[in-house]
A and B are shown apart, each in its own frame.
Chain A
């Protein structure tokens, strides 16, 4: 059996055991509203009490006119939140989010991550974890907390916008290389400031340690519980990002060799030096939600500017069921080079909440300009999201 197949098999069984285990624990410690009578100074509560378990099913398909084919992305998964309490209150929580995913001819269309064409096509099964971290709140009244595990990299709009189940995505892939990473985070909520600082592996979903990959990232912003919020983000590290390496590639002409970031040697282990600073803001204005982010930095020696602007519209008097989205993204690779690469596309979306548990999402994406001068594409995607 090949190594990755064995790994998948182990992960699948662990997932299955995990599902049973969590439910067994929840059954034993079914929620109580009465106060616990834990002893003074007790650090750990019993492994029971308030926890939440939600199931999720996603059925999705997309069509690309450039490829002339239909792709699919389906998943079943769960989310689990467990609060730890003692006599003096909640002091920690555990959050797990896992999906068992099936891709068919899926070239990351539905997640909007553009890259060189006819590459990155994915077909097959996979186990994806989206959040797996322990949060320690301690006695600091929210001014200081710690995350340990796999969590969102604190950078940009992604911090305050939940995109884990949406067709239309923001730009973490172009800025960070991935949405989440393994490591530790320290953060807090001060009266007028939210802050987060993380030190992570720099590898994304699969924990890979190649000796030199790491990422330091952080965001400081106004409180996210207001209509208007803005933030300043930064990151620096040596990250594993194969798509980023591809974007830095230039095909050799007339017998000349291919180059990566101006050098003939491809970055070893797909590790590239990356830096970014970014500014993001979001504003709720009546039925409109306005979102914007601009970031600047370098991948190796290539300067990058990425920007995104989005308007969401909630149709009034429809109980918040119907929402329209319009978004434009521009990612500029190697801005100093003549004929530098530019990815620009428009995305329109329409979401309708069928019920408490089910949302139908639709998306149309039109390429205005595509990286590496390849053909523009039009993508139509549909997704049924069930959460119960």
Chain B
């Protein structure tokens, strides 16, 4: 009798579990894609006082649109939910952070992108990376090339994931990871615009403009 009751309970749990999926749209989000969000938020946005995480879902239509733009299919584990972080100064949104893991040859390269409210790259940070040349792409000399770039920048060569070496100076023996970063920039700017069109107003074309170096900030970073 007790055994039958146990099976009844199991069946009830299972049925409830299945039915529960009907109550809401599937929220199949990755639980954590951002190591140490607190620390990195305030490094990339020193003036920030807080942040708010937002989980958004890439549906089939958006996936097709993204893949058409990129010219490549998304990785098998990139479909579904994505997490963005609205960066706040008091109650005002001052920027966006998008943590992203792009696949390299030996595994994922964990990056954190910082975007401005007009759809441009503010900076990026690499957390963990298995690729060769990671130390070179962490340096401000390489990162500076991405600052101020927007969706209209030709990050990669046409129909390729390879970094556009005509636009970006690639350190020696690090082309693979540079390409990973460039492709990630392209992908995440697109996703940023797709999910947050209100923060991508006034995006201007900067493909030929080189951002001016800031000596004071660079000396602090070094």
Chain A contacts to B: CB under 8 angstroms: 1, 5, 9, 12-13, 15-16, 19-20, 23-24, 26-27, 30-31, 33, 35, 40, 50-55, 76, 78-79, 81, 83, 85, 87-91, 100, 125, 137, 139, 141-143, 189, 191, 194, 223-227, 284-287, 314, 316-317, 319-320, 353, 355-356, 388
Contact = CB atoms under 8 A, between A and B. Distances in A.
28 contacts: A16-B16, A19-B16, A20-B16, A26-B24, A26-B27, A27-B24, A30-B25, A31-B27, A31-B55, A33-B195, A33-B196, A51-B27, A52-B81, A53-B24, A53-B27, A54-B28, A81-B31, A88-B88, A142-B38, A142-B42, A223-B36, A284-B129, A287-B106, A287-B107, A314-B107, A316-B106, A317-B105, A356-B76
Contacts of A285: 130
B51 interface: yes
Contacts of B81: 52
A112 to B, nearest CB: 24
Interface residues of B, number: 60
Contacts of A50: 53-55
Contacts of B105: 316-317
Interface string B1-24: 010011001101110110010011
B77 to A, nearest CB: 5
Interface string B48-84: 0111111110000000000000000001110111000
A287 B51 CA distance: 34
B12 A16 contact: yes
B127 A226 contact: yes
A206 B178 CA distance: 50
B108 to A, nearest CB: 6
Contacts of A141: 38, 41-42
B36 A225 contact: yes
B55 A52 contact: yes
- Sorted nearest first, the 10 A-B pairs with minimum C-beta distance are A142-B38, A89-B50, A225-B35, A52-B29, A23-B20, A287-B106, A225-B127, A87-B91, A27-B24, A23-B23
Contacts, number: 152
A92 B146 CA distance: 33
Given A23-B23, A33-B196, A142-B37, A90 B53 contact: yes
B82 to A, nearest CB: 12
B123 interface: no
A52 B93 contact: no
Contacts of A91: 50
Nearest to A95: B31
Nearest to B42: A141
- Tell which of B5, B88, B129 has the most Cβ of chain A within 10 Å: B88
A89 B52 contact: yes
Given A1-B2, A23-B20, 19 more contacts: A9-B9, A16-B16, A27-B24, A33-B54, A35-B52, A52-B30, A76-B17, A83-B53, A85-B53, A90-B53, A139-B50, A189-B39, A194-B36, A225-B127, A284-B128, A286-B106, A314-B130, A319-B76, A355-B76
A353 B108 CA distance: 14
A5 B5 CA distance: 11
Contact of A314 (B20, B52, B88, B106): B106
A83 B31 CA distance: 11
A90 B106 contact: no
A225 B5 CA distance: 47
- Tell which of B16, B50, B88 has the most Cβ of chain A within 10 Å: B50
Nearest to B110: A225
B154 interface: no
- Tell which of B80, B86, B90, B91 has the most Cβ of chain A within 10 Å: B91
A163 B19 CA distance: 29
B106 A35 contact: no
Contact of B80 (A76, A226, A356): A356
B103 interface: yes
A79 B31 contact: yes
Nearest to A45: B52
Contact of A227 (B12, B41, B129): B129
A285 B23 CA distance: 44
Contacts of B27: 26, 31, 51-53
A33 B56 contact: yes
Nearest to B105: A316
A100 B13 contact: yes
Contact of B86 (A35, A227, A284): A35
Nearest to A160: B35
Nearest to A124: B6
